[in-house]
Structures are given as structure tokens and as C-alpha cells.
């Protein structure tokens, strides 16, 4: 007669990994969250978006770089040209956002790492919200400012043109200028951080499926993900 204890018991959960492997997976998830933080910090020092402006009097074109903390390239000259069509100076755009950029990155980092460590299986997807909100927030805020500037033209400006919204991606036209806009390294780094957090979230879900406390897990993790006392 075969040994009944040797017959595998079927269950709806994955087989539990060895303690050493389980511990390694948990620290890997925390490491991925910290890697995303490093990427977000790096994005602070990189330009996120770039605009090219071409016109007959500017055969080499003008360049505007937008980062989380300021403007670069030919921003001053472009602002001077904008004056002729009644558009506000570029320096007036997103002043509060630029002042709070460092704090915003810090908040995204704290929320991402904190949620990774404490959220339960029910709200595991919340881990992705801060990482997703950063690039989406940048794009939405930038487009809102472009719309505002293009629809708040001074009627007493030397040149009168109809209200417009500058093209935020690809080719566009402003008066006699042809424009081209595209994302730069800072934006791609933020998307890379989002991809890292997706990886961390998927791996975390696998850990939850083999957790001995899965049945009692709810909004918050029933035990520590890492460190003393983690199971």
C-alpha cells in the first residue's frame, strides 16, 4: 500500500517556496521599489520634453527644454518672440510646480515604497498609482499650461493671431513657425521607473499567493514584507 502522506494535496494556491527563496523574493521586491526611487531622483536632473521651432529667420531653429525644475535652451529668446503675439513669458508657466518638484518626487517615492511594504492583497494595485501619476500629471499639467497660454493672448500685441494650443507631441504650426515636440530622457526615465514598479507589483502578487497568511490578508499586509518577523 502506498504511503498516503506522499500523495500531494491539491489546493488553489501555488506551492510555498523554500524559506530562503521566499526571503530573497521579498527583498527583491523592496529592492525594485528602491530602484524606482533612484530613477525618479535622476529624472529631476534631466529634461523631460523638448520643443523645436523653425522659421526662415531661424534656419538652425530654436530649442526649448522643459524639466521638472525649470526651462532650458533658447527659452528667453522664445519668450521674447512670444511677446509679439501677445503670449505670456514662458517663465510664468508652472512656477508652483517647479518649486514643488523635489517635494513631489519625494512624495511619490515615499508612497511607492510605503505601499509596497504595507499594502495587502486587496489593494495591491495601489502601489502603481504614484508611479503612474507622475508622468501622467506632467503631461496633463503641461498641456493645460499650453492651452492657457495659447488662449490668453494680449489683444493689444503687435501681431494678432487666433487663439491656439501649441502641439505637445509631433509637428505643429504657430504663426510663421513650424514646431516639433517630443519627450526627452527625464520622461523616459520616469516611465522606466513605472515599469520597475509594475515588475515589483507583479512579483509581490506572486509572493502573496504563497503567503501562509493569505486567507486573512485584507487591506494591509498581515505581516512584514521584509525584516524581522517577516514570513
Sequence-separated (6 or more) residues with CB below 8 Å from residue 51: 63, 64, 66, 166, 179, 180, 181
* Eight-state DSSP code of residue 167: -
Please return the burial class of 35, using the count of CB atoms within 10 Å of its CB with bins 0-12, 13-18 and 19+.
middle
Which of the listed CATH numbers 1.20.140, 1.20.950, 1.10.3470, 1.10.150 matches domain 33-209?
1.20.140
pLDDT in tens, 5-29: 443 434 444 445 555 566 777 788 8
Whole-model pTM: value is 0.83
Rounded Cα distance, 217 and 212, in Å: 10
Q: Give the integer Cα–Cα distance in Å for 5 and 2.
A: 9
Express each pLDDT in 24-78 by its tens digit: 777 888 899 999 999 999 999 999 999 999 998 898 899 999 999 999 999 999 9
Q: Which of 214, 193, 198, 194 is nearest to 22 (CA)?
A: 214
Ranges of each domain in the chain = 33-209
Amino acid at each position: 500500500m502506498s504511503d498516503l502522506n506522499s500523495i500531494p494535496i491539491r489546493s488553489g494556491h501555488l506551492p510555498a517556496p523554500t524559506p530562503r527563496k521566499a526571503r530573497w523574493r521579498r527583498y527583491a521586491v523592496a529592492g525594485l521599489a528602491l530602484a524606482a526611487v533612484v530613477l525618479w531622483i535622476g529624472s529631476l536632473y534631466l529634461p523631460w520634453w523638448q520643443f523645436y521651432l523653425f522659421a526662415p529667420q531661424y534656419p538652425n531653429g530654436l530649442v526649448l527644454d522643459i524639466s521638472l525644475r525649470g526651462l532650458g535652451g533658447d527659452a528667453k529668446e522664445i519668450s521674447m518672440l512670444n511677446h509679439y503675439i501677445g503670449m505670456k513669458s514662458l517663465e510664468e508657466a508652472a512656477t508652483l510646480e517647479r518649486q514643488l518638484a523635489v517635494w513631489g518626487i519625494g512624495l511619490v517615492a515615499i508612497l511607492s515604497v510605503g505601499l509596497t511594504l504595507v499594502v495587502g492583497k486587496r489593494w495591491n494595485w495601489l502601489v502603481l498609482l504614484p508611479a503612474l501619476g507622475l508622468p501622467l500629471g506632467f503631461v496633463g499639467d503641461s498641456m493645460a499650461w499650453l492651452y492657457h497660454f495659447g488662449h490668453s493672448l494680449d489683444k493689444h500685441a503687435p501681431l494678432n493671431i487666433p487663439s491656439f494650443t501649441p502641439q505637445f507631441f509631433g509637428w505643429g504650426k504657430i504663426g510663421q513657425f513650424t514646431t516639433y515636440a517630443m519627450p526627452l530622457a527625464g520622461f523616459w526615465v520616469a516611465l522606466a521607473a513605472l515599469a520597475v514598479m509594475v515588475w515589483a507589483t507583479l512579483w509581490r502578487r506572486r509572493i502573496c499567493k504563497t503567503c501562509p497568511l493569505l486567507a486573512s490578508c485584507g487591506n494591509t499586509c498581515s505581516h512584514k514584507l521584509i525584516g524581522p518577523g517577516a514570513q
